[in-house]
Amino acid sequence: MRTIGDFTEAIGNTPLIRMSRLSELTGCEILGKAEFLNPGGSVKDRAALWMIRDHEQSGALKPGGTVVEGTAGNTGIGIAHVCNARDYNCIIFMPDNQSREKVDMLRTLGAEVREVPTVPYRDPMNYQKQAGRFAESLTGAVWANQFDNIANRQAHFDSTGPEIWQQTEGQIDAFTCATGTGGTLAGVSRYLKEQREDVKIVLADPMGSALYSWVKTGSAEMSRGPSITEGIGNSRITDNLADTVVDDAVQIADQEMVTMVYQELHTEGWFFGSSTGINLCAAVKVAKQLGPGHTIVTILCDSGSKYQSRLFNDDFLAAKGLTPWKPQRPLKTGSRFSTKALAASR
């Protein structure tokens, strides 16, 4: 029998999916690493497990201890799941401008959520800094510190990178993804470059982030924003991202991302969140730059289900000046679902 023993063992080993519409459009193989299939629902399950394991191995986290983190989303969800599986307490600090769904979700998972005023990173009351101070003040607690704890990128060096290399049998020309903490891009990039230095690493950036300019010019200047994407883009270079070889960057506007996500949903059946939309747009851009015949891998970070009230809400999109792409599917007359057939059946 080939079975999995517990929640943490179910993290990773996700399928690599051929994005058929985009592959046909570009003449390249565009492949997506299905991180939305992790048991906590996102790419951040890997980082959550590696950071918690790192604190266990250092002796800082003992049975019955507490994991504290500043996070607005998937990292908190991943940490809350792993804490339940390993019997730790979980305390999450998050800015008070986040959607109700996220707060409710974390509380449902058993985390204690502390909503704090939304202030910039330089402010000492920023949610990440509050999480760090709180963890220090509490006996038996550790701060996961996803942005600057390099156990985060190690997760992707140890697992995501090798999985991609094996699944493509080394036939990979480029890897691209957006970054929040930088863990995914940095870990995968480091692993792939160790296998073959000429695998091209491309950072995908939403608007309102400084990472595109950092890659292009060496200086982290914020681009014009904002963006409705969540969990990606940054104003600073984290310890996870620092010293990572990044060959190029592409910038993706929200409208391109929205169109991509809706087209994948309505024509291919995939239900993705906004960062996945950015990643797929970036993969298409890289494919067009490289020309037909190349293989480009990206990350399918999480599903669309967390974004119902924003990305999948026509009123929200309209208020942001964005237009959802909708399929033209006229109902066939004579079909049992057509208006005529329905009227006749009454």
Contact present, 146 and 154 (Cβ < 8 Å): no
Work out whether 180 is an interface residue with ligand PMP (CB under 6 A): yes
Concatenated DSSP letters of 231-263: S---SS--TTTTT----EEEEE-HHHHHHHHHH
Toward ligand PMP, which CB reaches closer, 171 or 305? 305
Distance (Å, whole) CA 10 – CA 39: 6
Instruction: Give the three-state DSSP class for 23.
Output: helix
Greatest Cα-to-Cα distance within the chain, rounded to the nearest angstrom: 72
Peptide bond into 39 cis (omega under 30): no
Q: Of residues 41, 73, 132, 233, which one binds ligand PMP by CB under 6 A? A: 73
36, amino acid identity: F
Site for ligand PMP in 302-331 (CB under 6 A): 302
Q: What dihedral angle (degrees, nearest 10) is formed by the CA atoms of 265, 270, 276, 282?
A: -70
Shortest reach from residue 339's CB to ligand PMP, in Å = 40
Shortest reach from residue 203's CB to ligand PMP, in Å = 10
Name the residue number minimizing CB distance to ligand PMP. 231
Toward ligand PMP, which CB reaches closer, 23 or 209? 209
Work out whether 41 is an interface residue with ligand PMP (CB under 6 A): no
Shortest reach from residue 179's CB to ligand PMP, in Å = 4
Annotated catalytic residue within 33, 44, 102, 200:
44
Q: Of residues 11, 19, 22, 43, which one binds ligand PMP by CB under 6 A? A: 43
Q: Which residue is listed with tokens 């409705």?
A: 228
**75 CB contacts (<8 Å, ≥6 apart)?**
44, 47, 48, 69, 144, 146, 181
Toward ligand PMP, which CB reaches closer, 70 or 273? 273
The strand pairing partners of 143, in sequence order, are 68
Contact present, 269 and 235 (Cβ < 8 Å): no
Toward ligand PMP, which CB reaches closer, 23 or 146? 146
Work out whether 74 is an interface residue with ligand PMP (CB under 6 A): yes
Site for ligand PMP in 99-158 (CB under 6 A): none
Work out whether 161 is an interface residue with ligand PMP (CB under 6 A): no
Let me know if 44 is a catalytic residue. Answer: yes
Structure token pair of residue 308: 């119902």
Give the range of 16-24, 42-50, 200-208, 289-297 binding ligand PMP by CB under 6 A: 42-50
Toward ligand PMP, which CB reaches closer, 132 or 180? 180
Per-residue binding letters, 224-243, with ligand PMP (x by CB under 6 A): -------xx-----------
CA separation, residue 113 to residues 61, 91, 284 (Å): 20, 6, 38
Work out whether 301 is an interface residue with ligand PMP (CB under 6 A): yes
Residues annotated as part of the active site: 44
Binding site for ligand PMP (CB under 6 A): 42-44, 73-74, 178-184, 231-232, 273, 275, 301-302
